[in-house]
Amino acid sequence: MNKIAKYINQHIIGNVFDSPSILEAYSTDRSALKITPRMVAIPENTSDIRRIVRFVNQLSKKSVHIPISIRGSGLDKTGADLGTGLVLSTEHLNKILEIDDHSRLVRVQAGVTLGQLNSALALYGLTVPILADPRETIGGLIANFTTDAAAGKYNGIYYYVDCLEAVLSNGDAIQTARYSRRHLTKKTELTSFEGEIYRGIDQLIEDNAELVKDLGAKSTIDASGYQMISQVVRDPVRSFDLLPLFYASQGTLGVITEVILQCEVLPPKVRHFIAAFESISAAESYIQEIMPLIPEELNLYDARMFKACANHGKDPALFAPKFNKGYFVLAGFDDKPRKIKKKLKKCLQLLPDNAAAVTETDDNTTDFQRFYSAIISYLNDDVRGERTPLCDDFYVPSEHLSNFLTDLRDLEKAYSQELPVFGSFSTSNYSIRPDVQLNTVEGRQFILKFIKDFDSLLREHGGSITGGAPEGRLKAMVVNRNFSDEEADFYAKIKNVFDPEEIFCPDIKLGATTNATVRHLRTSYLNDVIS
């Protein structure tokens, strides 16, 4: 064991590892990258994290630089949780610390998964209504600012976080809160590193007032950079809260350790409705008709996905084969049973004559499960290579969707492969999964060229490649070039206020480079199933 790992192990309850087998296990996530770290730390509590970060900070001041990458469940799609230095995993910070069912609040450690949290809350008749991968950690949902399928109705993770605790780059801990200007003055007068941060961010906002205003008024949904700084100061009372800056920060500003979330009353069982249309225009017209019914989720699927699945025996069999060239619309309702029944009936009444539809009942629930299973089959299809999430979670305005899909067909022709779109119409957040042969030079060259071309197409239609999740490493290759010099400099100053020694994830987001990213592209497929 190297000396640094051994020293840290002597001072924490958790463990630091440097054995090749463990390093290999933490060298991949859901992205197309592979980066083998020097060490893996699995702390047991916040004190462990503080000791680790403080030690790394001290080493950095002595010109021994060990970058720290923060990892939750290892499900990041952009390589942001990978690193060449020390990977700090929050997997053992998985305790639900307190549930206040009267106030509908819950306090959890950042490594608690969404599935674990909602299973525990269900015993109290509560839930955090987020339709994301249940394996995602709460800290990861915040750091990646995940736009989930239910965000159109429930507003997403941003709406439910009350405050958080994070370990700063010098090892100190900070608890976010909404402060009045009078209380903010007290914070800025502190002589600690926390005081430096409050002074620095307050001054940056004041010095760049017009830019902050422009970021807050942007019409395009975009999770790149630190655009949430526009939400730090809340009008009309001018309250000040650092919490928004941690959204989409991907661990670059601090290590999230604890979170207090608000909850909702657990709704009844969701009932779904699927309709099939022969054209996107017909699907869009129908979606506009049923949106006033306020579904929990409202998703759009290019039917070509299911045509590909049928080759693997995963035909959902809900509709006749003639619909394998159109679009599916899936709506889910989580109201009271009687209200759900009325809404499903309305969905059928609004259905045009040339469309087909199926309503979920107790008798056909298995058929709907087969529908979701077919989607998973498509995402993991390896007929030609691997469907890696290069372009997941992009944003396209609803009014531009049809034209975007038309122009996307030209991109399909240019790259000689189908690119079915799937995602949430209610959030305008979609994904595509191109086939990539990562074990070939051509496949890796494909990644570089395709991301650039796809980003250009999105921007032509008012969209963003980082609409529902930040840039990490892969998307940063194109996102960074889209920043104006003023914006890039502003974001760099925010990062410097929180992390002057460049300890946390220095090679993602603004620090990501094309050359470094290309060097870390995987040349083999993941052993685990990608979903």
* Per-position b or e across 363-387, b if 16+ CB within 10 A of its CB: eeeeebebbeebbebbbebeeebbb
Residue 531 pLDDT class (50, 70, 90 cuts): very low
**Predicted pLDDT at 266:** 95
Q: Residue 20 and residue 25: Cα distance in Å, rounded?
A: 9
Q: Residue 53 and residue 256: Cα distance in Å, rounded?
A: 13
The phi, psi pair for 501, rounded to 5°, reads -90, 5
Q: Residue 141 and residue 407: Cα distance in Å, rounded?
A: 32
Q: Residue 115 and residue 98: Cα distance in Å, rounded?
A: 16
**Predicted pLDDT at 312:** 66
Identify the residue whose tokens are 């001290």.
58
Q: Residue 85 and residue 128: Cα distance in Å, rounded?
A: 34
Identify the residue whose tokens are 């549930």.
99
The phi, psi pair for 271, rounded to 5°, reads -115, 140
The answer on pLDDT for 490 being more than 70 is yes
Picking from 362, 375, 427, 364, the residue whose alpha carbon sits closest to that of residue 396 is 427
Identify the residue whose tokens are 């990258």.
33
Q: Residue 258 and residue 509: Cα distance in Å, rounded?
A: 24
**Predicted pLDDT at 379:** 77
Identify the residue whose tokens are 């759009």.
300
Helices and strands, number each (H, E), in the chain: 19, 22
The phi, psi pair for 27, rounded to 5°, reads -95, -5
The phi, psi pair for 211, rounded to 5°, reads -65, -45
Residue 323 pLDDT class (50, 70, 90 cuts): low
**Predicted pLDDT at 222:** 92
Domains of the chain: 1-266+469-518 (3.30.465.10), 267-381 (3.30.70.3450)
**Predicted pLDDT at 370:** 82
CA distance from start to end of the chain: 35
The answer on pLDDT for 160 being more than 60 is yes
Residue 529 pLDDT class (50, 70, 90 cuts): very low
- Tell me 69's DSSP state: E
Picking from 276, 187, 278, 224, the residue whose alpha carbon sits closest to that of residue 475 is 224
| Length of the chain, in residues | 531
Q: What is the mean pLDDT of residues 297-322?
A: 75
Summarised one tens digit per residue, pLDDT across range 370-397 is: 888 888 777 765 544 568 889 999 999 9
Structure tokens at 218: 């942007």
Residue 462 pLDDT class (50, 70, 90 cuts): very high
The answer on pLDDT for 96 being more than 80 is yes
Q: What is the mean pLDDT of residues 304-320?
A: 70
**Predicted pLDDT at 324:** 66
Q: Residue 335 and residue 267: Cα distance in Å, rounded?
A: 7
Structure tokens at 459: 């921007």
Residue 325 pLDDT class (50, 70, 90 cuts): confident
**Predicted pLDDT at 250:** 97
Residue 416 pLDDT class (50, 70, 90 cuts): very high
**Predicted pLDDT at 226:** 97
Across-strand partners of 161? 261
Summarised one tens digit per residue, pLDDT across range 163-193 is: 999 999 999 999 999 999 899 999 999 999 9
